[in-house]
Amino acid sequence: MSKVKLVGVKMPVDLANTLERTAGNEDKTVSVLVREILTEYFESEIALTAWETIEKGQREYREGKCIPWREAFNE
Protein backbone atom coordinates (compact mmCIF):
# COMPACT_ATOMS: atom_id res chain seq x y z
CA MET A 1 0.00 0.00 0.00
CA SER A 2 1.26 3.50 -0.80
CA LYS A 3 2.15 5.98 1.88
CA VAL A 4 -0.47 8.48 2.97
CA LYS A 5 0.07 12.06 4.09
CA LEU A 6 -2.58 14.08 5.90
CA VAL A 7 -3.10 17.58 4.52
CA GLY A 8 -5.17 20.15 6.38
CA VAL A 9 -6.80 22.96 4.45
CA LYS A 10 -8.43 26.14 5.71
CA MET A 11 -11.42 27.30 3.68
CA PRO A 12 -14.48 29.47 4.11
CA VAL A 13 -17.32 27.82 5.99
CA ASP A 14 -19.67 28.10 2.99
CA LEU A 15 -17.19 26.28 0.77
CA ALA A 16 -16.62 23.59 3.39
CA ASN A 17 -20.37 23.09 3.74
CA THR A 18 -20.75 22.80 -0.03
CA LEU A 19 -17.93 20.28 -0.14
CA GLU A 20 -19.49 18.17 2.62
CA ARG A 21 -22.95 18.35 1.01
CA THR A 22 -21.56 17.37 -2.40
CA ALA A 23 -19.61 14.47 -0.92
CA GLY A 24 -22.75 13.26 0.84
CA ASN A 25 -24.83 13.54 -2.33
CA GLU A 26 -22.27 11.42 -4.18
CA ASP A 27 -22.00 8.90 -1.32
CA LYS A 28 -18.31 9.68 -0.87
CA THR A 29 -16.23 10.96 1.97
CA VAL A 30 -14.88 14.50 1.77
CA SER A 31 -11.39 13.03 1.54
CA VAL A 32 -12.25 10.88 -1.48
CA LEU A 33 -14.05 13.74 -3.22
CA VAL A 34 -11.13 16.15 -2.71
CA ARG A 35 -8.64 13.52 -3.86
CA GLU A 36 -10.68 12.91 -7.05
CA ILE A 37 -10.99 16.64 -7.75
CA LEU A 38 -7.27 17.22 -7.27
CA THR A 39 -6.32 14.21 -9.38
CA GLU A 40 -8.53 15.41 -12.23
CA TYR A 41 -7.10 18.94 -11.97
CA PHE A 42 -3.47 17.84 -12.01
CA GLU A 43 -4.01 15.34 -14.83
CA SER A 44 -5.64 18.04 -16.97
CA GLU A 45 -2.77 20.43 -16.16
CA ILE A 46 -0.23 17.79 -17.20
CA ALA A 47 -2.17 17.11 -20.39
CA LEU A 48 -2.30 20.82 -21.18
CA THR A 49 1.45 21.19 -20.63
CA ALA A 50 2.15 18.15 -22.81
CA TRP A 51 -0.06 19.52 -25.59
CA GLU A 52 1.69 22.92 -25.42
CA THR A 53 5.06 21.14 -25.72
CA ILE A 54 3.84 19.17 -28.75
CA GLU A 55 2.54 22.32 -30.43
CA LYS A 56 5.85 24.10 -29.76
CA GLY A 57 7.76 21.22 -31.35
CA GLN A 58 5.48 21.18 -34.37
CA ARG A 59 5.90 24.95 -34.80
CA GLU A 60 9.69 24.69 -34.53
CA TYR A 61 9.67 21.85 -37.07
CA ARG A 62 7.64 23.91 -39.55
CA GLU A 63 10.01 26.85 -39.06
CA GLY A 64 13.03 24.63 -39.65
CA LYS A 65 14.34 25.15 -36.12
CA CYS A 66 15.11 21.52 -35.50
CA ILE A 67 17.91 19.06 -35.92
CA PRO A 68 17.69 15.45 -37.10
CA TRP A 69 16.95 13.07 -34.23
CA ARG A 70 20.15 11.14 -34.84
CA GLU A 71 22.19 14.28 -34.18
CA ALA A 72 20.28 15.03 -31.01
CA PHE A 73 20.53 11.41 -29.90
CA ASN A 74 24.31 11.33 -30.34
CA GLU A 75 24.98 14.57 -28.43
Full-model pTM:
0.61
8 is a domain residue: no
Which contiguous run of DSSP H or E holds residue 32? Answer: helix 30-62
Within a domain: 39: yes
Residue 17: what pLDDT? 96
Q: For 65-74, what is each residue's pLDDT tens digit?
A: 888 778 877 7
How large is the C-alpha radius of gyration of the chain? 21
Provide the domain count of the chain: 1
Residue 30 contacts by C-beta under 8 Å, 6 or more apart in sequence?
A: 19, 20, 23
44, pLDDT greater than 60: yes
- Is 3 a domain residue? no
Query: Residue 1 has what pLDDT?
Result: 57
Within a domain: residue 1? Answer: no
Q: Mean of the pLDDT values across residues 33-55?
A: 89
- Nearby residues of 26 by Cβ (< 8 Å), 6 or more positions away: 33
Domain that holds residue 38: 13-73
Does residue 2 form part of some domain? Answer: no
Within-domain flag for 7: no
Contact present, 23 and 29 (Cβ < 8 Å): yes
